[in-house]
Amino acid sequence: MKPLHILTLGAGGFIGSHLTSRLLREGHRVIALDTHADKLADVLDHRQFTFVEHDIFNHDFPLEQMIEEADLVVDLIAHANPGLYVRQPLDVFRLNFNENLRIAELCVKHQRRLIQFSSCEVYGKSLTAVCGDQLKEPHHPAHATFAEDTTDLIMGPVEKHRWIYACAKQLLERVLHAHGLERKLNYTIIRPFNFIGPKIDYLPRDTDGVPRVFSYFMEALQTGEPMKLVNGGDHQRCYTYIDDAVECIYRIVLNPDGVCDRQIFNIGSPANEISIRELAHLMRDLYRDEFAPANPQLPEIISVTGEEFYGEGYEDSDRRIPDITKARTLLGWEPTWVVRDLLRETMAYYMSAYPKSLA
Mean pLDDT of 252-258: 97
Please determine, for residue 1, whether its predicted confidence score (pLDDT) is greater than 90. Answer: no
Instruction: Give the global pTM.
Output: 0.95
Considering the chain, what is the average pLDDT of its residues? 94
User: Does 310 participate in catalysis according to the annotation?
Assistant: no
Q: Which of 2-6, 18-22, 275-279, 313-317 has the lowest mean pLDDT?
A: 313-317
* pLDDT recorded at residue 202: 79
pLDDT of residue 355: 66
pLDDT for 359 beyond 90:
no
- Mark residue 295 as left, alpha or beta (left: phi above 0; alpha: psi -120 to 50; beta: remaining): left
What pLDDT score does 354 carry?
A: 74
Report the Cα 335 to chain-centroid distance in Å: 16
pLDDT tens digits along 299-319 = 999 999 988 988 888 898 999
Give the mean pLDDT of 120-149.
94
Q: What is the percent of the chain where pLDDT is above 70?
A: 96
171: CB partners within 8 A, 6+ apart: 97
Strands 240-241 and 195-196: parallel
Compute the radius of gyration of the chain from its Cα atoms.
Answer: 20
Confidence at 209, pLDDT banded by 50, 70, 90:
low
Which has the closest alpha carbon to 99: 59, 153, 54, 131? 59
Q: What is the mean pLDDT of residues 204-221?
A: 77
Check 123, 165, 187, 310 and give the catalytic one.
Answer: 165
What single string gives the DSSP state of each residue in 90-102?
A: HHHHIIIIIIHHH
Confidence of residue 82 (pLDDT cuts 50, 70, 90): confident
- Return d(Cα 142, Cα 265) in angstroms, integer: 19
**Pair 71, 6: CB distance under 8 Å:** yes
- For the cut 80, the answer to whether the pLDDT of residue 93 exceeds it is yes
The pLDDT value given to residue 81: 78
* pLDDT classification of 208: cutoffs 50, 70, 90: low
- For residues 83-111, b (16+ Cβ closer than 10 Å) or e, as one string? bbbbbbbeebbebbbebbbebbbbbbeee
Average pLDDT over residues 13-32: 97
Q: Which fold has domain 78-357?
A: Rossmann fold (3.40.50)
- Angle among Cα 122, 311, 222 to the nearest 5 degrees reads 90
